[in-house]
Amino acid sequence: MPEKSGFKVKSVIQQRAVKSKYKSEVKPLAFQRLMENSYRHIDAEIKRTSKLK
């Protein structure tokens, strides 16, 4: 189920971001790239599964 895994990925990334904000500043570019890659992966999964149906 791509939607469920997608939400899990997002929440994990957000949790890490919150934790790292307390410890030190988040590297904006690296974090942005990570977010973009995860969203792109989720979109690809959803498109792939919708094509199968």
**9 within 8 A of 42, measured Cβ to Cβ:** yes
3-state secondary structure of 25: coil
Amino acid at the residue 8: K
What is the pLDDT at residue 7? Answer: 66
Kind and range of the H or E run holding 15: helix 2-23
Rounded distance, CA 13 to CA 4, Å? 14
The answer on pLDDT for 26 being more than 50 is: yes
Percent of the chain with pLDDT over 90: 0
Residue 10 pLDDT: 73
